[in-house]
Amino acid sequence: MPLDSSQLKNAKILIVDDNKINIDVLISALEPEGPFLSVAHSGEQAIELAQKIIPDIILLDVMMPGIDGFETCKRIKAIQTLEKVPVIFITAKNESDDIVKGFESGGIDYIQKPFDFSEVIARVYTHYLNYTLQRQIVFARDEALKAHQELSSAQEEILEAERIKSLTKSITNFAHEIDNPCNFVMNNIQGAKKSASSIESILNQVLSEDEEGQRLKNLLDPHFKKLYELVELSQIGARRIIKTVKELRDLSADGKGYLQPHDIGVILKKSVEVIESKFLKISYVKSTDPPLVYADGRRLVRALEHILLFSLRSAQVQQSHPEVQIQIDFSEKEVFIIVSDNGLVLSKQEYASLFEPLYYSKKLDKHSRIGLSLAYNIISKHKGTIKAKAENNKNTIQITIPVFSEENVA
């Protein structure tokens, strides 16, 4: 392969020598090739200058006042940003021991004095080319590793989304199956209450007002009272079952609904108003208003309401003074809602399972097992994302929603 020293153009070369004649000769040899040349007259000065400019090649004289070239090389190689930079020693022909010491201290090659211009250029070019190729290989490897990690993460997210989708479908099918029996039970409880009331009324009419009749009434009254209490408790339980079934059925409903441009700040305020808590505080990261989002406002309010309720209850479980911070930020294409609370921090596994239908945590046993799944479903249908993690010792949920544009309208 022929030598193409023009590739030295813009290379950063540091010359370290206390001898002005040597410096001038090296500059005369290298300057026509177009590199950026810097000069240091001592080892100490070289170490300081090298950290500022991060050279591509260092030409280092062995014999200098103060610390010599070998010690200078060792100190340079101990600096993380300079450890890979090639160091070429400058030595005299008869100083063979210096060559060995140079390699031992971290040098990659040597140039003998007096200088031969073609040799100087050839050696500098070869090591500069090798160093450049090594950096390109490392960069390509890092980019490939990064791409692989991103691909793996994307695949995991797709698999997780499909798993939740499948689980959601099974649960909503189950909800449809038990919907009618639940309504049947509720209607029968109401019928039982009416029948009990009718029986009590008939007995009151049949029983005489004498002492025996009053005695029977006194015996029956506690039983009727207990019966009404049981009926009331059964109604409460049945209503909770019906509400849960409705929420389960909502998991399979279209999470988008009627779409139109919305101000995310207004939607958040509506969610906060629904919860009516003084512990919820909204702030904007940027001074300018965020762009509009394309969403079903009613459903998005509901999704954010479930998320805020989770954070509020999380904080209330752990703290006597709960705090829920809601930050709004945005980029050119997305709006970010970051909800953080000072509640009990969960494990990685718990965060990973947080948006599954019927999620249950012993730490947070008062939390809705369905609300976060509903929020996940709604935000996903809006082509957004929702993730939970621990950050700065706080529970943090980040919601991402695409901004309004002609593309997402079409």
Q: How confident is the model at residue 253 (pLDDT cuts 50, 70, 90)?
A: low
Containing H/E element for 13?
Answer: strand 12-16
Q: Which two tokens stand for residue 128?
A: 């500069």
- The 8-class DSSP code of residue 324 comes to E
Where is pLDDT greater, at 72 or 98? Answer: 72
277 CB neighbour count, 10 Å cutoff: 16
Q: So what CATH class is 5-115?
A: alpha beta
Q: Just give the CATH number of 260-409.
A: 3.30.565.10
Instruction: Give the predicted TM-score (pTM) of the model.
Output: 0.46
- The 8-class DSSP code of residue 390 comes to E
Q: Which residue has the tokens 């997305």?
A: 334
Predicted confidence (pLDDT) per residue in 57-73, tens digit: 999 998 888 899 999 99
What integer is the mean pLDDT of 282-288?
A: 81
Task: Name the burial class of residue 286, with classes exposed (0-12), middle (13-18) and buried (19+) by CB atoms within 10 angstroms of its CB.
Answer: exposed
Predicted confidence (pLDDT) per residue in 181-207, tens digit: 777 787 888 888 888 888 888 887 877
Q: How confident is the model at residue 1 (pLDDT cuts 50, 70, 90)?
A: very low
Residue 298 three-state SS: helix
Q: How confident is the model at residue 193, as a pLDDT?
A: 82
Every domain of the chain and the residues it spans: 5-115, 156-250, 260-409
CA–CA dist 270, 289 (Å, integer): 17
